[in-house]
Chains A and B, each alone.
Chain A
Amino acid sequence: MNAPLHLWLIPLLPFAGFLLNGILGGRLPRPLVTAIGLLAPLGAFAVALNPARSLVGLGSGLPPLPYAETLPHPWISAGSLHVDFSIVLDQLSLVMLLVVTGVGFLIHLYSAGYMHGDAGYARYFSYLNLFLFFMTTLVLAGNILLMFVGWEGVGLASYLLIGFWYQKTSAADAGKKAFIVNRIGDFGFLIGIFLLLGNFGTLTFSEIAGKLAAQPAWTGGILTAICLCLLVGATGKSAQLPLYVWLPDAMEGPTPVSALIHAATMVTAGVYMIARLHFLFDRSPYALSIVAIVGAATAFFAATMGLMQNDIKRVLAYSTISQLGYMFLACGVAAYSAAIFHLMTHAFFKALLFLAAGSVIHAMGGEQDMRKMGGLRTKLPVTFWTMTAAVFAIGGFFPFAGFFSKDAILYAAFLQGANGKILWFVGLVTALITAIYMFRLWYMTFFGEMRSHDAHPHESPASMLIPLVILGALSVCGGWIGIERIGDYLAPATGALREQPAGSHLELWLSILAVLIAAEGWLIADKYYRRKPQRPAQLAASVPGLYNLIANKYYVDEIYSALFVRPLLAFSKYVLGWIVDIGILGGAAWLLGGTATFAGAILQRWQSGNLRSYAAWLALGAAAVLIFALILAGHAPGHAALLFTHFDGARN
């Protein structure tokens, strides 16, 4: 007998947490707020664990996947458009859910320690739960409209959390930037939804897949357009070129927020969406190649920018953008399960990196500039060892998690053909740069002499360390499940991975090459940042133009500001503000009022109180009536007869 899975609890528990902490949180004691805030993701994780029993062979009594629950009352039923509140659990969403709620719970736990003294504690947890509500809605959605609700909602939660310390202007500005850039992407997403509706008549994933399966020859054309529009949305949400500019600024938010939203979960929504709609993207090789190119280019450029940053969180932000580029690359070569695998391992080690960075920042009393750090290895041992695990994982060293997932992506890219080999090469170079900047971060933070004289670093409390340890363990062994098993498991949901040529050791050689490249990166970082720390400055001085270009992030923010932001602001202020608002609208209102006043001033003189003028107007009125009666008598004698009754010789 198949027991119901109660999937509705997964979004609902966080939503309840949001409401409780949001409305009552200010009046509840801190421990209660924490309990409410932590129970939500824990409960959602527990509900998600139930169907996950099948992963470890305990899946008796579970309904088969894909499993859908729909609310009986329809959401939209207008003409031919019919949309329901339906949530669907399949292999893809189950994996995503476990990542989101599991890592989410660990980060919630960490936040309890990190945000301990903050005045907006309850508000923080309510926002976090709100985010989790929308994210789970996005993951579980059975149709693209409900997914869009979650999509927008996580953008909102991101805005609220980035600008959490809203008294800081930079934080408020960063929140606005994130939301606005997301909105630009969402515009593309919306166009994609409209095109989907127009061409398929339905927004439910299973129905769209069914319609596509019924027409195997339908490729390219409008499907490419739809995919590109959806890709625009994905680039906005997942911070790819050209809409990545919000993610580095989003580091203004609290570090756990950066870990949760801007590393592990929200930014991966774009990848998830593409994997979810793989049946659509598979029909458009052109769109897929665009996805791959965008991913590879973003990975490379972000990695170069991460190399020159001095703020520890900014390095990690560019690293996130770069790793997301890898995931897009994987989707672009139709290796969707590889992308999801990398999403999962990336969630582990990137969250760990951020949380550990938060621990470092906490220890340094709020200092984020790596140039002022150093030698923290001995003072923060737990932080050091867990972060080391994460650094090795992101570098792609065997046997850490990142090795398996990144390797799968590069291998799938290599198999793609001539273009694929170019993409593979770009990915390889990016891996080199990734290793360099991650080890640079590692060395600058933990090795050498402490370069700041006011810091008194101390290890973080247990509530912050426990998630670090758990994530560290996952970063080590998270990839051991292997791409084959992940690929087979996800195949019903995301399509099968390309089969490798039988009996070939290509994959083995490629992975050895990748590890060697990563080790080379380590050595470079070791040379420049540990043994000869003065060399980087000399190198930068020798190529000042290139150095300035990359250090200033290719001036992309400035270009956007000049091309889009300032003209838009000027247009708003001068055209819309002065001409339309003050001139047209204000003028119209002034005109109405002015007309009334003017007419009143004229008519007022009529009431002079002068008896004779009143009499004159009376006489005029009487004359008018008489003339009217005369005309009436001329043209309509019958009516006139009413006025002039004619008694003919009637004797009284």
Chain B
Amino acid sequence: MHLILFLIFAAICLAGAINLLVQTHPINSALSLIVVMISLAVLYLMLGAEFLAAAQIIVYSGAVMVLFVFVVMLLNAGREERTLGSKAARRVGLPAVVAVMAVLATLILRAQGLGATTLDPELIPTAELSRVLFHELLLPFEVTSVLLLIAILGAVALARVEGSSVDDAERTAK
């Protein structure tokens, strides 16, 4: 059971990732990424991270990817054009990626003591997670919320149009 589930959802992950690379229109790539994220959520669940699985779906695919889709829509991004491109990316980058993959694979396969995962009834409960989060790691948690606030402010400031119609309306109203 465990194995079959893993194989199915791992395959979906990889298929989605490859589809992300293959598609030319960014909206198709975004949708493939959503597929990857959802299947990753299932994998998290199989690894006993129930909270994270939920967070993955809600936050990542539900909020972040929606943001991506909105931006694609806003900017009316079309199919990719054939640009001049970078020869270095092909000649230097792809062999580097192959090397990275090879090294990682070697490390993983050679490592001893990794063992096997189990479909444990003993998942790590959310209560355990939240206890650690709010007791020991309270400061990072609060800092992260500040970080999010800053990110919101930054995003608003960056994406704002100079001299927007809101300001004009305010001026004419005075």
Contacts and interface: CB of A to CB of B under 8 A. Distances in A.
So, do A and B actually touch in the complex, CB under 8 Å? yes
Given A613-B86, A646-B113, A619 B97 contact: yes
B89 A613 contact: yes
A623 B113 contact: no
B92 A616 contact: yes
A648 B97 contact: no
Given A613-B88, A615-B89, A627 B96 contact: no
Contacts of A610: 86, 88-89
Contacts of B97: 619, 623
Nearest to A611: B86
Interface in B76-105: 85-93, 95-97, 99-100, 103-104
B96 A622 contact: yes
Interface string B100-143: 10011011000001000000000000000000100000000000
Contacts of A620: 92-93, 95-96
A6 B96 CA distance: 90
Contacts of A648: 113
Main secondary structure of the interface of B (DSSP, over half): helix
A622 B88 CA distance: 16
A622 B92 CA distance: 12
Contact of B99 (A616, A627, A629, A633): A627
Nearest to B101: A623
B71 to A, nearest CB: 18
A617 B86 contact: no
A616 B88 CA distance: 7
Contacts of A615: 89, 93
B4 to A, nearest CB: 28
B113 A617 contact: no
A585 interface: no
B92 A617 contact: yes
Most buried by A among B88, B91, B92, B99: B88
Contact of B96 (A616, A646, A652): A616
A627 B92 contact: no
A623 B95 CA distance: 9
A630 B89 CA distance: 24
A630 B93 contact: no
Given A622-B100, A623-B99, A648-B113, A616 B107 contact: no
B103 A612 contact: no
Interface in B3-43: none
Interface of A: 608, 610, 612-613, 615-617, 619-620, 622-623, 626-627, 629-630, 633, 646, 648, 652
9 A-B pairs with least C-beta separation = A616-B93, A613-B88, A619-B96, A623-B99, A612-B89, A620-B96, A612-B86, A613-B86, A623-B96
Interface of B: 85-93, 95-97, 99-100, 103-104, 106-107, 113, 132
